[in-house]
Amino acid sequence: MNEKYQPDGNLNTQLNILAIDSSDQILSVALAAGNGIWHSEIDAGHRHSEFLMECVNWLCCSAGFKALDLNMVACMKGPGSFTGLRIGFSAAKGLAMALGIPLIAVPTLDCLAYPLSHWPGIVLPVIDAKKGCFFCSFYRGGKRISDDMDASAETIIKEIIKSRLSDEEPVILTGQGAELLFSELSKQLKPESILIDFSFRRGRAQELLKMIKYGIIDSEDCTNSAPVYLRKSDAELSRNRKQADQI
């Protein structure tokens, strides 16, 4: 879906920013230019490389905007899909280096949790990490209260019990892995205290823009950085097994 939004009155309209979220199956790209925000979102699955630059070009054309006028580009730092993160980070880095502008990489789970900063309980952003595990972290009152985790549902249940201020403290799941984790949590925890964000399955490029414009995140240039992975890719694991077998 492609939509044009008008920014909130408090947003800084001086910066022209391109934001990319390719950390999961939903590809989300947003452009802040002048006094408008343009957004494109596609259920790309594993085809981000086919659609990303097409989305960027569409947004620029829709805004009557030239990429040369960008002041900053932003993307997800990780965790997330290995392929998706690499594609988004590579595209953002290429634009930043070609245009001589800063690249801001935002931790994925921080961005997923940001819209629920005022939730009266625990916010649990979730990405399906496959193999029965999830990438997640815990937040309360807009602040992180755990490190990023690559954990099974059982481990997450133990962390919820340990982190709750009471047995009734509500937990809200968000992110594209929320529905799958909910089905596991509701088997052992009171289902009425576990909820799912109604907009859990969407990209967060617009949140990236807001976090930068409102100064929510550190704006350190990440042009020379790389995505953050919580585990090795299947290719790396396979290569390590082959090397071990040869020893």
pLDDT of 247 reads 57
How far CA 181 is from CA of 121, 161, 230, 234, in Å, comes to 18, 15, 18, 22
pLDDT at 231: 87
The three-state (H, E, C) secondary structure of 125-139, written as one string: EEEEEECCEEEECCE
So what's the pLDDT on residue 234?
53
Q: Report the pLDDT value the prediction gives residue 4, as an integer from 0 to 100.
A: 35
Can you list the alpha helix ranges (DSSP code H) found in 13-81?
Answer: 48-63
For Cα atoms 214, 59, 50, give the angle at the middle one, nearest 5 degrees. Answer: 110
* pLDDT at site 244: 43
- Is the fold of 2-107+202-236 the same as that of 110-196? yes
Q: Hey, what CATH class is 110-196 in?
A: alpha beta
Residue-wise pLDDT tens digits, 209-247: 999 988 888 778 999 999 999 987 554 544 544 544 455
What is the structure's pLDDT at 85? Answer: 96
67-78, pLDDT tens digit by residue? Answer: 899 999 999 999
Cα separation, 234 vs 112, whole angstroms: 25
Q: What is the pLDDT at residue 13?
A: 53
Per-residue pLDDT of the chain (247 residues; tens, 9 = 90+): 443 333 343 445 578 999 999 999 999 999 998 779 999 999 998 899 999 999 999 999 999 988 899 999 999 999 999 999 999 999 999 999 999 999 999 999 999 999 999 999 999 999 999 999 999 999 999 999 999 999 999 999 999 999 999 989 999 999 999 999 999 999 999 888 999 999 999 999 999 999 998 888 877 899 999 999 998 755 454 454 454 445 5
**Choices 3.50.50.60, 3.20.20.70, 3.30.420.40, 2.70.98.10: CATH for 2-107+202-236:** 3.30.420.40
Tell me, what's the pLDDT at 35? 77
- Cβ(156)–Cβ(183) under 8 Å? no
Listed by start position, the domains of the chain span 2-107+202-236, 110-196
pTM recorded for the entire structure: 0.88
DSSP, collapsed to helix, strand or coil, labels residue 181 as helix
